[in-house]
């Protein structure tokens, strides 16, 4: 039996930002697992998607974009949809009022059971 294993790999990348160092901040996030259509298994749809989010100090997402495509528009769209439902924690009051960019990555692997 084949199992689909979408792996959320945000922990390593959340500390990294694509903002300038003056606006860099560590952000905590809670992100849902994106949906993977069972029909994609037959097409061997898997890969890594790197996303960037522009996050306000209160944790709301202002903008989202794909930084690195998996090569599959299906996975890219599923990752962006799932990532856009992330809930980012508010930043410390002394970290500034400007929005910051942060990155997360989804790795999609098909495990053969």
**Digit-coded pLDDT (tens) for 53-99:** 999 888 899 999 999 999 999 999 999 998 899 888 887 666 677 88
Predicted local confidence at residue 76, as pLDDT: 94
Rounded-to-integer distance, Cα 74 and Cα 84, Å = 15
Predicted local confidence at residue 81, as pLDDT: 92
* Band of residue 14 on the pLDDT scale cut at 50, 70, 90: very low
Contact 2, 111 (CB under 8 A): yes
CA-closest candidate to residue 102, choices 76, 63, 44:
63
Q: Is the pLDDT of residue 19 over 70?
A: no
Higher pLDDT, 24 or 113: 113
DSSP for 3-44?
EEEEEE--HHHHT--SS-GGG-----EE-PPPP--GGGGGGT
Residue partners of 10: CB distance under 8 A and separation at least 6:
29, 31, 104, 105
Predicted local confidence at residue 73, as pLDDT: 94
Predicted local confidence at residue 38, as pLDDT: 83
Share of the chain above pLDDT 90, in %: 22
- Which structural domains are found in the chain, ordered by start? 2-35+45-112 (3.30.2420)
For 6-35, what is the mean pLDDT? 49
Rounded-to-integer distance, Cα 48 and Cα 4, Å = 14
Question: What is the β-pairing status of strands 100-112 and 87-88?
Answer: unpaired
Rounded-to-integer distance, Cα 11 and Cα 74, Å = 24
Rounded-to-integer distance, Cα 105 and Cα 60, Å = 19
């Amino acid at each position: 039996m084949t199992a689909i294993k979408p792996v959320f790999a945000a922990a390593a990348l959340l500390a990294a930002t694509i903002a300038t160092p003056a606006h860099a901040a560590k952000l905590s996030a809670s992100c849902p697992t994106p949906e993977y259509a069972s029909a994609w298994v037959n097409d061997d749809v898997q890969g890594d998607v790197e996303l960037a989010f522009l996050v306000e100090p209160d944790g709301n997402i202002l903008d989202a974009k794909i930084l690195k495509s998996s090569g599959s528009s299906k996975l890219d769209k599923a990752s962006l949809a799932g990532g856009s439902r992330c809930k980012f924690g508010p930043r410390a009051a002394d970290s500034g009022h400007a929005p910051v960019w942060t990155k997360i990555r989804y790795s999609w692997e098909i495990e053969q059971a």
